[in-house]
Amino acid sequence: MSGTSSPSSPSSPSAPSGTSCPSGTSGAATGPLRIVRVANFVTPVSGGLRTALRHLGEGYAAAGHDPVLVIPGAEHSDESTPQGRVITLPGVEIPGTGGYRVLARRAPVEALLARLAPDRLEVSDRTTLRWTGEWARRRRIPSVMVSHESADGVLGTWGVPGPFARRAGDALNRRSAYAYTRIVCTTAWAAAEFERIGARNVVRAPLGVDLAAWHPAHRDPAVRQRYARDGEALLVMCSRLSPEKRPDDALDALAQLRAQGVPAVLVVAGDGPLRARLTERARAARLPVAFLGHVARRADLAALLATADVALAPGPVETFGLAALEALACGTPVVASARSALPALIGSAGAAARTPAQYAGAVRRLLAVPEGARRARARDRAELHPWPAAVAAFLAAHGVSAARPAVHPAAALPDPRP
């Protein structure tokens, strides 16, 4: 890995090629490092981001490093967990998001970072926390920003016209690429918007799936009996019910299937601001949809995913899609939005669609494949993405070897409170 190169100006799409240790010298760091991770939009009931943070933290700790996670919450807390130290700072709740909070006040976060003295900084938010990249650069601390969503894609789902969304997304991405040592993208789809602006500090690091926790063995006949009658196709959607996830497309696809004479039912696992409207819509249209809300027990969700015939993932701006990967690990094929990164992830273990009619057609084609074959294909695809490989890729993005370093006595961590 190369040392830091200084861009000519903040407006330049080119960005530092990255450092592998705070001094700027080349070569992977060999000792245990404090990797401080800061993230917004993490709640006890949030999905993919919370899962990714947990597995990465556990992987960093298993590799002998000292991971610290800083997230927003209703009040201050500080605890030791298997993923390392987790510090919650009071955050501002965003109306209409179902409880999401952000670390909107810079001063408390900056003071905490100074006390923690990170060797590496990892940020999972490209908006309100982008200042942390400059903070780290001034202190010669290597930093990465993890791109968990498409900037112009999200703007588009909010109704911003395409050309304006693209220009705004490009401007945001230029500032992010300049601020951080590296931009970590989990798929080629996610990296494309940074490559479009000529950013040179983009690295690829896929996420993973727990292949033991998500397994076809969790299939449960009692779950099928609860939600579907004999001969009915059981569909599942595991998603946050918010506009950018396009959950309406799943209901439209179900309506199309029913109109075509396919006896399908849908189970929705997840909550969000659109739940009440979707529930009322399903009731008015007499669609057989069960809304479970947030499913707290992982074993219950694994049983649902392993029992379903097909999983739907209609979100058009997914950069990876952990819920889809968990379905594949459970042996269930996925029909995903053709606009997202998921088609490349699921490969032949599912199908891609753009419209509700196409979703319905894809479901019918998958149901026509012998069950054993389609389930084996799904599991085989998931096995390409174990978490240890993902952790190794993220550590490499930090310029750190995945091999466990020699352990040095850990210094006592300071109290983060003022």
pLDDT tens digits, one per residue of 371-417: 999 999 999 999 999 999 999 999 999 998 776 655 433 333 333 33
| Per-residue pLDDT at 320 | 86
How far is Cα 385 from Cα 322, in angstroms, rounded to an integer?
A: 10
Question: Is the CB of residue 102 less than 8 Å from the CB of residue 72?
Answer: yes
Contacts (Cβ under 8 Å, ≥6 apart) of 256: 356, 357, 359, 360
- The reported pLDDT for the residue numbered 69 is 97
User: CA-to-CA distance for 187 and 184, rounded, in angstroms?
Assistant: 9
List per-block mean pLDDT (blocks of 10 residues) for the chain, which spans 418 residues.
34 38 42 93 74 95 97 94 96 76 93 98 89 96 88 65 81 91 93 93 95 98 97 96 93 98 97 95 98 94 98 91 96 96 94 97 98 98 97 95 54 33
pLDDT tens by residue, 105-128: 999 999 999 999 999 999 998 778
Domains annotated on the chain, with CATH? 34-208+386-397 (3.40.50.2000), 216-382 (3.40.50.2000)
Cβ 326 vs Cβ 305: under 8 Å: yes
For 186-217, the DSSP string reads: SSHHHHHHHHTTT-S-EEE----B-TTTS-GG
Q: What is the DSSP string of 316-384?
A: TTBSS-HHHHHHHHTT--EEEETTSSHHHHHGGGEEEESSHHHHHHHHHHHHHS-HHHHHHHHHHHHTT
Residues 6+ apart with CB under 8 A from 283: none
- Interatomic CA distance for residues 145 and 128, integer angstroms: 12
- What was the pLDDT predicted at 207? 95
pTM of the model: 0.84
Query: What are the residues facing 290 on neighbouring strands?
Result: 267
